Structure 1
């Protein structure tokens, strides 16, 4: 069947796929960009050094007017820093220090880094209120647990970022903070009343919209107060709250539609169609190397999404007018990006270093034995969104005491985007008595907490390094000396090393 070229262009305009490659776009992607593709998203496997990434971005931009996006939140979610560690602190550190000028400066520094790599859109800031301490995917990616705190830092981050000419994306609407399930692998629910949703979850989005954020990303989360059966990404009732109640007229982009919450329920193709019908404008297609067993998964995912949307138009299920409205908003974002003068100054890293040192919380007189250390990492759970980000702070502890040994308490099988089935995380035998024990969020994992009790019992002076979401007041099996970092980054590593080796 012959496809109307105009319809084909509109379908391309609403898609934002990931792809495999670091130097040249694969042929299917080059063709899609030339046919009007709306956007692409970089993951860590696409990122080289600044020059290499900028060259790839230039190649993509030369092919057509495509928007390039990536997740550069700072802290544990940093695509540009996925190999060496993020040079920027994360949201929890910024919220803990609560210095909006510093947050604005960090946002501007991140914008400068993205511009240098040729990237147009930052899929940040996270404006979820981390009201559920058991949340497995937000945690230290959130500015905090109260809407006022999150609102003022979301605005500052977005303002700093967009002042550089890079578009900000507030995520994950209508809020992913009060969940205990990760939407990468399941379908979460937020069982809060409409009143609570407005006062808690939606307040930071309202603040970001009022501040002029250019894009908002949806969450694959069921919110019964808005829609009892459909995740927000594919719920017209949920997305109309963003358009009508909050007055947002920018680009609504979806979180990756091949995440488990959509893929394992209605499927990727139907998810694309339903998201457009609900009011989304730009469809995220996710990480093409996640779980890939062959080299053409990226092309197949794109073809499935494109084919499903095109078929829905032909069948009369998806009005062309809905595609036109979505493509118009994507084009308006392109125009904003093209005409926005870039304002960047060389970032010296001082805002990040200051925040990292001020954010640390401690208990006891911090110190470690002289000489090589036994460092034991008892973390089992990894944040899926963080990808392959290395642990800068652990590396700094080891580097500060040459000859130190790092032992992971649990066997961590190879896993893309940090995810592994819990049943695979087996406890190693014959673990050493630790001088330093590294843990994630306290209370999230009974096996981790049991290993902490064992470590403290074996060495009451063990230093406990808490890198996950925490309040800084946890009992932690009576540990005598504790450092809470509220995330991980290169500046955090410097701050912890200075504390240990002063």
Structure 2
């Protein structure tokens, strides 16, 4: 299929692939950047130390005007901290403390870290209102359960990020908070009337838009009040609300189009076409390492997307004018990045630890004797967004009581990247009684809850350490001694260590 040079450039401009590589871009990616590629996304397998990541970024930027993005929310979703843990607290801790100056300081510090690694766009903040306690994918990634709380912290976080020259991305439009399905593996719905959607889901996005957020990411979620059959990413009625009602004229980027909500329904290639037709500008192709069956999976995914767009243009289904409009917005974001001052604002590195300490909640006796303990980690759930379960706070408890040991109740898949399928999470036999029981988000996973009940039946005075979302579980199956952290991070671990001593 012969492709006009201008059309080829436009098609490349609207694509944002992931790729396999840590120290240099693969040949196909270097070629794509030279042909006008709009963006790339770093996942944890692309991230080394600061020097290694910055060197990779320099290579990509030298090849062309490509925008480098990554998910750096702080807390449990941290690509820069995927192996050693995030040095920044997550949104739930920030919302719980409700100090917008602290949130702005944390956003600024995250922006400085991203700048040091040569990254242009943060796929944060999460602007979803976590109104459904059963939500399996948002939870502690949200600032809270009310639109007012989420709005003020989303604004502060975005202001901090963008003060460093890193673009903020409000996600997941028009709201993934009131869902009980993870869009990585299924197609969620938000069955709420339009009045409630405007008051709850849309209000924080409207606030972020008014505050000047440079990008908005779509959600693969169906909202029947707006469109009864298509998820927001491929729905013109939903995305037109973002443009026309909220007045957003920046870059609309899609959540990863290799997620189950798109891949397992209309397919990635057709998802690319329909997302552009709906009004999206930059097409996130997702993580080519997850589920890879061949070493060139990244090239296969990119080729599938590019081919689908070229074919749709050739067939007259996708107007070239739609790509030109998208490319203009991407070019505007490129110019914004280039115009930002090389000077960073003052960075307050103390805000994270302060927030971590203030966000902790406790019940009963939380002191542990400085003697060996048996720690039982009963966490099972994790999702592709969060990746592998952090163990920072668990390690902090181990360090507090020298000679202690930890047993994981479930055998977890051995992968740094995330995993959303629970079928491989097998329960170990012969679990010991424990002085400390570590749980994630009680009430979200029946198997994990059963293990908590069983552990407390044997050791009713055990200290229960809750590292996840805790709303609605205050009773906690009769646990007498509890610490709630509302997430996990390096400062969380330090705060718990200080608390237990």
* TM-score normalized by the length of structure 1: 0.98
Structure 2 SS opposite 1:407 = strand
Counterparts of 1:96-495 in structure 2, within 5 Å, are 96-345=96-345, 347=347, 349-388=349-388, 390-415=390-415, 417-471=417-471, 474-495=474-495
Which range is displaced more, 66-75 or 447-456?
447-456
Deviations 1:394-418 (A, max 9, x none): 1111122222111011121335633
The alignment's C-alpha RMSD in Å is 1.2
Structure 1 SS opposite 2:427 = coil
Deviations 1:182-234 (A, max 9, x none): 00000000000000000000000000000000000000000000000000000
- Report if aligned partners of 1:254, 1:282 keep a CA contact under 8 Å in 2: yes
Which range is displaced more, 387-396 or 138-147?
387-396
- Report if aligned partners of 1:376, 1:438 keep a CA contact under 8 Å in 2: yes
* Structure 1 residue 264 displacement after superposition: 0.2
* Structure 1 residue 369 displacement after superposition: 3.2
Deviations 1:69-120 (A, max 9, x none): 0000000000000110000000000000000000000000000000000000
**Can you give the 5+ residue segments of structure 2 that lack an aligned partner in the other structure?**
none
Structure 2 SS opposite 1:453 = helix
Deviations 1:150-178 (A, max 9, x none): 00000000001101110000000000000
Aligned length: 501
- Report if aligned partners of 1:129, 1:147 keep a CA contact under 8 Å in 2: yes
C-alpha change, 1:207 and 1:342, in structure 2 (3 Å) is farther
Displacement over 6 Å in runs of 4+: none
- Report if aligned partners of 2:44, 2:417 keep a CA contact under 8 Å in 1: no
Which range is displaced more, 96-105 or 445-454?
445-454
Which range is displaced more, 404-413 or 187-196?
404-413
- Report if aligned partners of 1:108, 1:344 keep a CA contact under 8 Å in 2: no
Which range is displaced more, 390-399 or 477-486?
390-399
* Structure 1 residue 347 displacement after superposition: 3.8
Give the Cα separation in 2 of the matches to 1:421 and 1:283.
Answer: 25
Give the Cα separation in 1 of the matches to 2:98 and 2:271.
Answer: 38
Match of 1:61 in 2: 61
Give the Cα separation in 2 of the matches to 1:331 and 1:401.
Answer: 54
Give the Cα separation in 2 of the matches to 1:109 and 1:170.
Answer: 18
C-alpha change, 1:150 and 1:335, in structure 2 (3 Å) is same
- Report if aligned partners of 1:81, 1:389 keep a CA contact under 8 Å in 2: no
**Can you give the 5+ residue segments of structure 1 that lack an aligned partner in the other structure?**
none
Structure 1 SS opposite 2:11 = helix
Give the Cα separation in 2 of the matches to 1:328 and 1:267.
Answer: 27
* TM-score normalized by the length of structure 2: 0.98
Give the Cα separation in 2 of the matches to 1:389 and 1:482.
Answer: 20
Give the Cα separation in 2 of the matches to 1:137 and 1:421.
Answer: 12
- Report if aligned partners of 2:376, 2:436 keep a CA contact under 8 Å in 1: yes
Match of 1:20 in 2: 20
- Report if aligned partners of 1:111, 1:162 keep a CA contact under 8 Å in 2: yes
